Amino acid sequence: MLNLIPTNTKDLDYLWELVSERNKWFIKLRYVAVVMLLCFYLFVIFFSDEDVNTLQHNGIFAIFISTLIYNLILDYVFNSGRIHNDIFRFNPLKFALIQILLDLTTLMILVYLTGLLNSPFYLFFIFHAIIGSMILPGRIVYLIVTLVLVIFSLLNISVHYGIIQEFLISNAGLIESLNFNYIILNLITFWLMMLASVMFSNNLAGALFKREQQLLEAVSEIELSEKEKQKYVLAVVHEVKSPIAAIVSYLNLLIEGITGQINDKAREVLLKMKKRSEEAISITNDIIEVSKIKLLEEIRKEETDPEVIIKDTIDKLKDKFSGAEIVFTYKDERTSRRAVYADRHLMEILLSNIISNALKYTPTGGKVDFKIYDNDDRFYMELSDTGIGIPDTELDRISGEFYRASNAKKSRIEGTGLGLSVVKQIIEKHNGTLNILSPSVIGNQKNPGTTVLLEMPYFVSS
Amino acid sequence: MIFLNFVQEEIMKNKILIIDDDPDIIEAATVLLESKDYKVFSETDPENGFKSALNNKPDLIILDIMMTEPDDGFFLLKKLKKNNITAPVIIYSSVSNALGYEFGKNSLIQVDEFIDKPAEPEMLLNTIEKLLNKTK
């Protein structure tokens, strides 16, 4: 069983992906080579000396045609799904090996037909040695390269002794007439060049591959520890929230008069206590939300009508709009009513976050515009307000965790700085992006406002 | 006669079982519910909670999620349903929304209502009333 897997490979899927990518690249590159072969053939016909004979003509043309044909076949096989990411089946590495062997054979014939050591093409062997080293394990590349060197040397020596016919594409010195020591010197240099190329590129490719794998491992470790951290945060927050919840439960009994009548002054104090405790609870809720979204391995995407979620969320928040005397408009500018592939629950959280934010930071008498539209296969949600806006220098930090704009802090509006972070997490889980603009598209001098632009694909296959 | 009336009222009262590891939450809820004439039982751990559910046959159960283990409540809920305890269950937890999202859609466990701690007394009472009316 021919094992082509490099030693110390830990992530096979990654290897297959890498080799497949290179295979694709080889096929593309070979089409370029085919064009170059055609150019060379035309050059030979129109510009070269009379020395070029019919056999060479036909040979070069045959190489052009056969390279084109086998590349078309390789291209077909590559795209036909016959290559399996499986060590024991026809896999990308075996496919790469076949490609390299076909290329080397073709190249050897071309080099022979164009003068061996006198051929301008034999340096391409070095190119192939390097490419091979990038993909295949060292021992296989050394074996192939040695075979190429032996055949090349034998051909040169045979030509020198007149054992086989010599071809030239110009009337440069015949190998037959060259000094044998000179030929040997040339060959030795070529051997050294080839083997050194393989050695260096193989080492480099090996080291690079190892590094990439280490990097991937490190990333997955970081992800894992991030998950652990979030679990810890969730547990801690729960511990913090529980006693506050108990306090509020007791406060409710007192305030509602269930435990007995209390005087107005005491009631006022109790209400203040309740308000502050509820602030603490709302902060813990925000943190729980962020941790929860980060912990989600997968989200439950389903075909959902965005309009329904949006209207539901607006309905829930309606009272707050009229209470604050803010004019809210909603427009659906989509070309057609299409469903998005989204997690309903997360979308509700997202919408309620951005709409509440707009409400919170827009002064009385202000405006909040919400519109949805589409462009190709992407779905857009744009929410603009005439609120306090976000200072220019802070725009790129605003969606970070616990970050609050300096003017929001000064305005003494309560907040944790987690809202937009939640929005960002959610939209990213839907392969979308969040953009914040300030001043907003409806802002004015006094109230610059903020525009939150969310964008996501309508449908994601995965 | 008066005595008989009293007994009758006791029988008529809806029985509510609270299972929560926080005794203060239990106490606050008990005071509230008793003020509305419910008969309240309570337990602070899932095992005794299960026994109480079998013995006292409550009309409604208020259940915490994170007790000794972070998901005790859900296991107890599963066990209750398996043992044909059909009383409606309110999940009353400080992370109910967070976990409810993940478990709520799971058809294996039917949850009647999620309430986030701490609940406004009126809201808790309304939810209880609503669920009890449904089962009648």
pLDDT one-digit tens code per residue, A83-125: 888 888 888 999 999 999 999 999 999 999 988 888 888 889 9
Q: Tell me how crowded residue A71 is: count the other CB atoms within 10 A of its CB.
A: 21
Confidence category of residue A352, pLDDT binned at 50, 70, 90: confident
Mean pLDDT, chain A, whole residue set: 86
Sign, CA torsion A181/A187/A188/A190: positive
Last residue of a domain, one of A295, A313, A346: A295
Confidence check: pLDDT of B46 > 60: yes
Residue A236, token pair as written in the block: 């801690």
What is the predicted pLDDT for the residue at A413? 66
Terminal Cα-to-Cα distance of chain A (whole angstroms): 35
What element of type H or E holds B70? none
Chain B positions touching chain A (beta carbons under 8 Å): 22, 24-25, 28-29, 31-32, 35, 66, 70, 94-95, 97-98, 101, 105, 116-118, 120-121
Confidence check: pLDDT of B103 > 60: no
**What mean pLDDT comes out for the span A270-291?**
87
What is the predicted pLDDT for the residue at B128? 94
Pairwise CA distance, residues A327 & A329, whole Å? 7
Cβ distance A205 to A133 under 8 Å? yes
Is residue B42 a part of any domain in this protein? yes
**Looking up tokens 């709520």, which residue turns up?**
B104
Same domain, A187 and A38: yes
**What mean pLDDT comes out for the span A421-449?**
87
Is residue B7 a part of any domain in this protein? no
Closest chain B residue by Cα to residue A255: B121
What is the predicted pLDDT for the residue at B105? 44
Query: Which region among A28-42, A380-394, B56-70, B98-112 has the lowest average model confidence (pLDDT)?
Result: B98-112
What is the predicted pLDDT for the residue at A69? 96
Which SS3 state, helix, strand or coil, does residue B25 take? helix
Buried b (16+ CB within 10 A) or exposed e, A304-320: eebeebbeebbeebeee
ipTM: 0.80
Confidence category of residue B7, pLDDT binned at 50, 70, 90: low
Give me the amino acid identity at B115. Answer: I
**What mean pLDDT comes out for the span A5-18?**
76
Residue B124, token pair as written in the block: 């808790």
Contacts A250 to B, Cβ<8 Å: 24, 28
The candidate with the shortest Cα–Cα distance to A369, out of A448, A441, A458, is A441
CB contact under 8 A, A238 and B94: yes
- Output Rg (C-alpha) for chain B, integer angstroms: 15
**Looking up tokens 């439960």, which residue turns up?**
A249
CB contact under 8 A, B118 and A238: no
Which SS3 state, helix, strand or coil, does residue B56 take? helix
Return the HEC string of chain A: CCCCCCCCCCCHHHHHHHHHHHHHHHHHHHHHHHHHHHHHHHHHHHHCCCCCCHHHHHHHHHHHHHHHHHHHHHHHHHHHCCCCCCCCCCCHHHHHHHHHHHHHHHHHHHHHHCCHHHCCCCCHHHHHHHHHHHHCCHHHHHHHHHHHHHHHHHHHHHHHCCCCCCCCCCCCCCHHHCCHHHHHHHHHHHHHHHHHHHHHHHHHHHHHHHHHHHHHHHHHHHHHHHHHHHHHHHHHHHHHHHHHHHHHHHHHHHHCCCCCCCCHHHHHHHHHHHHHHHHHHHHHHHHHHHHHHHHCCCCCCEEECHHHHHHHHHHHHHHHHHHCCCEEEEEECCCCCCCEEECHHHHHHHHHHHHHHHHHHCCCCCEEEEEEEEECCEEEEEEEECCCCCCHHHCCCCCCCCCCCHHHHHCCCCCCCCHHHHHHHHHHHCCCEEEEECCCCCCCCCCCCCEEEEEEECCCCC
What element of type H or E holds B59? none
Pairwise CA distance, residues A109 & A121, whole Å? 10
Same domain, A149 and A29: yes
Most confidently modeled of A3-12, A267-276, B86-95, B103-112?
Answer: A267-276
Range of the domain at A288: 228-295
Residue of B31, B40, B94, B122 best to disrupt the A interface, most CBs of A under 10 A? B94
CATH value at residue A374: 3.30.565.10
What is the predicted pLDDT for the residue at A462? 42
Q: What percent of chain A has pLDDT over 90?
A: 30
Q: Are strands B60-63 and B15-19 parallel, antiparallel or unpaired?
A: parallel
Confidence check: pLDDT of A333 > 50: yes
Name B62's bridge partners: B18, B90
Q: How far is B95 from chain A (nearest CA, A)?
A: 7
Confidence check: pLDDT of A418 > 90: no
All residues at 6 or more sequence positions from B47 whose CB lies less than 8 Å from its CB, including other chains: none
The 10s digit of each residue's pLDDT in A134-146 is: 888 888 899 999 9
What is the predicted pLDDT for the residue at A125? 93
Confidence check: pLDDT of A229 > 50: yes
Confidence check: pLDDT of B101 > 60: no
Is residue B92 a part of any domain in this protein? yes
Same domain, A279 and A318: no
Is residue B74 a part of any domain in this protein? yes
Pairwise CA distance, residues A115 & A113, whole Å? 6
Same domain, A161 and A218: yes
CATH value at residue B85: 3.40.50.2300
CB contact under 8 A, B28 and A246: yes
Query: Which region among A140-144, A370-374, A446-450 has the lowest average model confidence (pLDDT)?
Result: A446-450
Residue B100, token pair as written in the block: 């409810």
Question: Which stretches of chain B are DSSP H helices?
Answer: 2-12, 23-35, 46-56, 72-82, 96-104, 121-135
Q: Considering its fold, how many domains does chain B have in total?
A: 1
**What mean pLDDT comes out for the span A309-322?**
82
Q: Considering its fold, how many domains does chain A have in total?
A: 3
Same domain, A185 and A69: yes
Same domain, A107 and A138: yes
What is the predicted pLDDT for the residue at B100? 44
Pairwise CA distance, residues A21 & A19, whole Å? 5
**What mean pLDDT comes out for the span A409-416?**
67
Is residue B112 a part of any domain in this protein? yes
Closest chain B residue by Cα to residue A248: B118
Last residue of a domain, one of A273, A295, A317: A295
Cβ distance A435 to A443 under 8 Å? no
Residue B2, token pair as written in the block: 């008066």
Confidence category of residue A148, pLDDT binned at 50, 70, 90: very high
Same domain, A195 and A288: no
Confidence check: pLDDT of A393 > 90: no
Is residue A123 a part of any domain in this protein? yes
Within an 8 Å CB–CB cutoff, is residue A250 touching chain B? yes
What is the predicted pLDDT for the residue at B29? 94
Residue B63, token pair as written in the block: 């259940």
CB contact under 8 A, B28 and A249: yes
Is residue A343 a part of any domain in this protein? yes
Range of the domain at B123: 12-129
Residue of A242, A244, A270 best to disrupt the B interface, most CBs of B under 10 A? A242
Is residue B52 a part of any domain in this protein? yes
Cβ distance B26 to B18 under 8 Å? yes
Q: Tell me how crowded residue A140 is: count the other CB atoms within 10 A of its CB.
A: 18
What is the predicted pLDDT for the residue at A272? 93
Is residue B98 a part of any domain in this protein? yes
Last residue of a domain, one of A272, A295, A318: A295
**What mean pLDDT comes out for the span A23-44?**
91
Confidence check: pLDDT of B108 > 70: no
Cβ distance B118 to A255 under 8 Å? no
CB contact under 8 A, A238 and B29: no
Is residue B4 a part of any domain in this protein? no
All residues at 6 or more sequence positions from A59 whose CB lies less than 8 Å from its CB, including other chains: A109, A113
Same domain, A306 and A421: yes
Query: Which region among A48-62, A63-77, A254-268, A272-286 has the lowest average model confidence (pLDDT)?
Result: A48-62
Residue A313 φ then ψ, to 5° = -65, -40
Pairwise CA distance, residues A19 & A7, whole Å? 15
What is the predicted pLDDT for the residue at B36? 92
Most confidently modeled of A41-55, A116-130, A214-228, B34-48?
Answer: B34-48
Pairwise CA distance, residues A432 & A455, whole Å? 5
Confidence category of residue B18, pLDDT binned at 50, 70, 90: very high
Which SS3 state, helix, strand or coil, does residue B63 take? strand
What number of residues does chain A have? Answer: 462
Residue A176, token pair as written in the block: 């037959």
Q: What percent of chain A has pLDDT over 70?
A: 93
Most confidently modeled of A110-114, A147-151, A371-375, B62-66?
Answer: A147-151
Same domain, A269 and A391: no
Is residue A66 a part of any domain in this protein? yes
Confidence check: pLDDT of A66 > 90: yes
Residue of B101, B106, B114, B120 best to disrupt the A interface, most CBs of A under 10 A? B101
Same domain, A143 and A232: no
Of B29, B98, B120, the CB nearest to A292: B98
